[in-house]
Amino acid sequence: MDINKIKADALVVGGGIAGMQSALDLADQGYQVVLVEKDPSIGGKMIQLSKVFPTLDCCSCITTPKMSAVANHANIQTLTYCEVQSIDNADGHFVAQILKKPRYVDEDDCTGCRQCEYVCPIDVPSVFDLNMTARRAIRVPFSTAVPQLAVLDIENCILCGKCARACPADAVDFTQTAYEIELEVDAIVLATGFETTPIDAKKEYGAGNLHNVIDGLMMERLLAPTGPYARVLRPGDGKEPESIAYVQCAGSRDETLGVEYCSRVCCMYAIKQAMLIAGALPMADITLYYMDIRAFGKGYDQFYQNAQAMGIEFVKGKVAKITEDENQNPVVRVELIDEGQVVERTHDMIVLSVGMVPQYNPGSVYSVGVGEYGFIKSPAPNISSTETNRSGIFATGAATAPMDIVDSIASASAAASGAAAHLEAVQGGN
């Protein structure tokens, strides 16, 4: 059972952009890093996005090379489809018990050829595409997944055996079980990321029951080149929308949802999406209903000014309610602040600019302190924002607060810097 015991310098929890960057920065300094990701592929939320502000780089162009760098780095071992169960202190080291979930596919044998996926008779909603498309019960998670290995979701499997017969590598193994890996390290970086505020959270906005009201992440998928329809269509009836509206702060700055803070990314992603839609559907009218446009980062306000120049309509107003008419067209009831009147406007499609909430409560496993809203809190948020109340455990990215990719990357490198200094101190040299 020695094979399931690993020693390394640092454990990075979470394979999104922050976790990958922290792992790379530690590995580049010569430290041995184990990156643990709960999903079958690394890439996090970022790999689902279309293009990124303010450069409009295709998201894949930024994320996939980092995924590949992580996968190919001699100092990084990536454990996907794994979850950290507990952390103990032993002889001054951290000992992590990690649960390796069964893929029901032999990782050493699978070549990612997808033959299993082609023959699988079971379609289930694709979480990667936010349930807008279907995927097979056995599949490679997505086209740019790292590692390129199939994973079988056993709850939906009917054990028909077609995949096993189709697999040229004989890699499908229905008898696989979960097992534990014991990892000893001297530093831990938590990069557990975020979730978006649920689309059904707000009753006034239809509680997720309106046909042509989607959230920002769904629009990311619609705009992504690998997206469900390869074009922007109304999910309700497949019609090409002529009028699209964004409702800002739909799940942020909202006491009724317990999310009183600003989620920091929604203004910019809405503006970016609006610009991309304007490119894809040049005739469409695009409106943003907002309270304050928060384009604060480097090049962001200039980006906002460009969007205004492109003819995207920015309307200062708080949307009170969204309903739909008999044609399933969403109707917003909005107080137009500049005009001082309340109006109802009908659009073909509404995008709720949903905010960010913590993905994971680190309390039980890591015993690190969290703030009022559940984000991991530093005892010195200004000077050492990636430290936690536990020496040797650092936190980074959207696990510590809502933040965009640029700020997450800075935070991730900062966490790596902190972890490296800690390693230097406890190990006395690299």
Residue 115 contacts other proteins per CB under 8 A? no
Between residue 233 and residue 292, which ones bind other proteins under the rule CB under 8 A? 253, 260-262, 264, 292
CB of 159 to other proteins, least distance (A): 29
Our CB check for other proteins shows the closer of 121 and 381 to be 381
Of positions 85, 256, 302, 389, contacts other proteins by CB under 8 A: 302
421 forms part of the interface with other proteins (CB under 8 A): yes
Contact 155, 81 (CB under 8 A): no
Q: Does 108 bind other proteins (CB under 8 A)?
A: no
Per-residue binding letters, 144-183, with other proteins (x by CB under 8 A) = x-xxx-----------------------------------
- Closest approach of Cβ 298 to other proteins, in Å? 4
Residue with tokens 């056993």: 154
Q: Which of residues 217-236 bind other proteins (CB under 8 A)?
A: 224-226
Provide, rounded to whole angstroms, the least separation between the CB of residue 270 and other proteins. 14
| 67 near other proteins, rule: CB under 8 A | yes
Q: Which is nearer to other proteins, 82 or 146 (CB)?
A: 146
Span of 28-36, 91-99, 159-167, 185-193 interacting with other proteins by CB under 8 A: 28-36
Binding map of other proteins across residues 381-400, x = CB under 8 A, - = no contact: xxxxxx--------------
Residues 398-417 that bind other proteins (CB under 8 A): 401-402, 405-407, 409-414, 416-417
Residue with tokens 């017969």: 165
Least distance in angstroms from the C-beta of 43 to other proteins: 10
Annotate 7-49 with three-state secondary structure. ECCEEEECCCHHHHHHHHHHHHCCCCEEEEECCCCCCCCHHHC
Residue type, 214: I
Which of 196, 193, 188 has its CA nearest to residue 399? 193
Residue span binding other proteins (CB under 8 A) among the ranges 1-9, 175-183, 233-241, 375-383? 375-383
Burial track 149-183 (b if 16+ CB lie within 10 A, e otherwise):
bbbbbeeebeeeebbbebbeeebbbeebeeeebeb
Q: Report, in Å, the least distance between residue 378 CB and other proteins.
A: 9
Q: What is the distance between the alpha carbons of residues 411 and 400, in angstroms, rounded to a whole number?
A: 9
Instruction: Mark the segment that binds other proteins (CB under 8 A) among 94-102, 152-160, 342-350, 376-384.
Output: 376-384
Question: Toward other proteins, which CB reaches closer, 287 or 396?
Answer: 396
Q: Is 310 in the site for other proteins (CB under 8 A)?
A: no
179 contacts 139 by C-beta, under 8 angstroms: no
Neighbouring CB atoms inside 10 A of 384's CB total 13
Q: Which helix (H) or strand (E) holds 419?
A: helix 405-427
Listed in sequence order, the residues at least 6 apart from 394 whose beta carbon sits closer than 8 Å to its beta carbon are: 187, 188, 189, 190, 386, 387, 388, 415, 418, 419, 422
**Which C-beta is closer to other proteins: that of 64 or that of 212?**
64
Structure tokens at 137: 């019960």
> Nearest approach, Cβ of 263 to other proteins (angstroms)?
9
Among 71, 99, 113, 233, binds other proteins (CB under 8 A): 71
In DSSP terms, 289 is beta-bridged to 247, 315
Check if the beta carbon of residue 120 is closer than 8 Å to that of residue 139: yes
**Closer residue to other proteins in complex, CB, 60/353:** 60
Q: Show contacts of 279-284: CB within 8 Å, 24+ apart.
A: 280/223, 280/231, 280/232, 281/232, 281/240, 281/241, 281/242, 281/244, 283/242, 284/241, 284/242, 284/243, 284/244
What is the spatial distance between Cα 208 and Cα 75, in angstroms, rounded to a whole number?
Answer: 44
Nearer to other proteins, 126 or 263 (CB): 263
Size of the site for other proteins (CB under 8 A): 82
Using the rule CB under 8 A, which residue among 296, 320, 344, 363 binds other proteins?
A: 296
**Helix 59-72 to helix 17-28 angle, to the nearest 10 degrees?**
40
Smallest distance, other proteins to C-beta of residue 170, A: 21
Residues 181-220 that bind other proteins (CB under 8 A): none
